[in-house]
């Protein structure tokens, strides 16, 4: 410290100036402190709100998180537009409405929808845009029935009053080659009463749906379900290559001309058998033509 500042007279004389400097420095510091406190409170509040929102959208009790990024939605919209031939605006509208339905119905559901948000919304958005030739819908492999319930709503929006048939063994848990799938994230049994509860979310068409309990290869099931030609067939049952091939063979017999066939989990590494079986089948003589992919679903059109 300089000797001038140690001098008591100089110190006394400089005191008012020092106090002024102190005040000038202190004021902005106080202001900053206040702003910081208010920001801290805001962040705390936002984190609290975000937590409540995440309870609606996170992965707990379902297939995965329902929190798509803008880039994921943009990509999905482009794929839906490409496969369906619809313009971007129509594809975006359907993807958005599909997403809202997924959130709403899954929140009320007994059980869950199977698959990633992009895969589920992709199927729901694309099928109505492909203008199926009639209102008959068949889903092979339903698990909790919730995808069908949501698809009924998406078709109804497009002016189609759908009629639904479902085939699934509804054996208590999801069956796949090699046995039962592990414990379901929902903890909900795969049973006909559960499927019925979810179909009710699909409105009148859901309540009227036919549920054939059994395997798609069972002769009794095939004979009961083959009483009509379907405008939409969703193949989502046995995911082995052989299971997919056999379902496509059957679908070939019961698909109306122009029918839309959705092959779920095509290209999904977890279910390699789906693409293997489908590619082998489509390489032979068939009236099904692969029209494209959206997320991890392939779309076929029957000639
Ligand atoms: C992946 S889950 C279906 C998911 C449902 N489509 C969805 O999107 O939420 C497959 C369902 O097919 C059933 N399944 C397995 N083999 C089948 C077969 N041969 N015929 C019909 N369903 C079968 C399983 O038990 C399971 O309920």
Q: What is the per-residue pLDDT for 177? A: 77
Are 79 and 122 in contact by the 8 Å Cβ rule? The answer is: yes
What pLDDT is stored for residue 22 in this prediction? 86
Domain boundaries, the chain: 2-57, 70-302
CA 75 to CA 213: how far, in whole Å?
37
Per-residue pLDDT of the chain (303 residues; tens, 9 = 90+): 566 668 888 888 888 888 888 888 899 999 999 999 999 999 999 998 899 999 999 999 999 999 999 999 999 999 999 999 999 999 999 999 999 999 999 999 999 999 999 999 999 999 999 999 999 999 999 999 999 999 999 999 999 999 999 999 999 999 987 666 668 999 999 999 999 999 999 999 999 999 999 999 999 999 999 999 999 999 999 999 999 999 999 999 999 999 999 999 999 999 999 999 999 999 999 999 999 999 999 999 999
Give pLDDT, residue 181: 63
Whether the CB-CB separation of 209 and 202 falls below 8 Å is answered with yes
Residues 6+ apart with CB under 8 A from 12: none
Does 263 contact ligand 1 (Cβ within 6 A)?
no
Residue nearest to atom 16 of ligand 1 (CA): 238
Q: Whose CA is nearest to atom 23 of ligand 1?
A: 237
Ligand 1 close to Cβ of residue 79 (< 6 A): no
Level-2 CATH architecture, domain 70-302 = 3-Layer(aba) Sandwich (3.40)
Quote the pLDDT of residue 236: 98
Q: Which atom of ligand 1 is nearest to the CA of 173?
A: 25
Residue 191 near residue 232 (C-beta atoms within 8 A): no
In short, whether 244's Cβ falls inside 6 Å of ligand 1 is no
Q: Would you state the structure tokens that stand for residue 17, as one six-digit string?
A: 């100036």
**Among the atoms of ligand 1, which is closest to the Cα of residue 243?**
19
pLDDT for the residue 179: 65
Question: How high is the pLDDT of residue 263?
Answer: 98
What is the Å distance from ligand 1's center to 174 Cα? 7
Q: How far is the CA of 95 from the centre of ligand 1 (A)?
A: 24
Nearest residue (CA) to ligand 1, atom 6: 142
What is the whole-number distance in angstroms between the Cα of residue 217 and the centre of ligand 1? 13
Q: Other C-beta atoms within 10 Å of 9: how many?
A: 8
Q: Is the CB of 250 under 6 A from ligand 1?
A: no
User: Does ligand 1 come within 6 angstroms of the Cβ of 111?
Assistant: no
Give the HSE-up count for residue 171: Cα atoms under 13 Å, Cβ half-sphere: 13
């Amino acid at each position: 410290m300089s000797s001038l500042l140690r001098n008591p007279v100089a110190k006394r004389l400089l005191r008012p100036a020092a106090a002024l400097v102190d005040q000038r420095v202190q004021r902005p510091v106080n202001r900053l402190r206040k702003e910081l406190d208010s920001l801290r409170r805001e962040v705390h509040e936002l984190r609290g709100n975000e937590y409540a929102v995440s309870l609606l959208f996170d992965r707990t009790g379902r297939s995965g998180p329902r929190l798509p990024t803008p880039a994921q939605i943009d990509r999905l919209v482009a794929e839906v537009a490409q496969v369906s031939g619809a313009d971007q605006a129509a594809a975006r509208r359907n993807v958005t409405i599909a997403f809202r339905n997924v959130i709403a119905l899954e929140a009320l559901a007994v059980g869950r929808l199977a698959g990633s948000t992009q895969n589920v919304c992709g199927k729901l958005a694309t099928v109505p845009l492909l203008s199926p030739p009639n209102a008959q819908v068949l889903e092979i492999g339903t698990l909790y029935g919730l995808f069908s319930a949501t698809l009924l709503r998406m078709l109804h929006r497009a002016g189609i009053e759908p009629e639904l048939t479902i085939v699934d063994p509804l054996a208590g848990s999801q069956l796949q080659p090699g046995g039962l799938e592990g414990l379901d994230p929902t903890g909900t049994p795969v049973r006909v009463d559960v499927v019925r509860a979810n179909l009710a979310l699909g409105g009148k068409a859901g309540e009227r749906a036919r549920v054939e309990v059994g395997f798609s290869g069972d002769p009794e099931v095939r004979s009961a379900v083959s009483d009509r030609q379907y405008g939409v067939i969703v193949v989502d049952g046995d995911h082995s290559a052989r299971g997919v091939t056999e379902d496509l063979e059957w679908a070939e017999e019961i698909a109306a001309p122009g029918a839309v066939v959705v092959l779920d989990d095509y290209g999904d590494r977890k279910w390699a058998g789906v693409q293997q079986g489908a590619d082998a089948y489509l390489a032979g003589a068939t009236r099904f033509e692969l029209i494209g992919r959206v997320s991890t679903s392939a779309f076929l059109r029957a000639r």
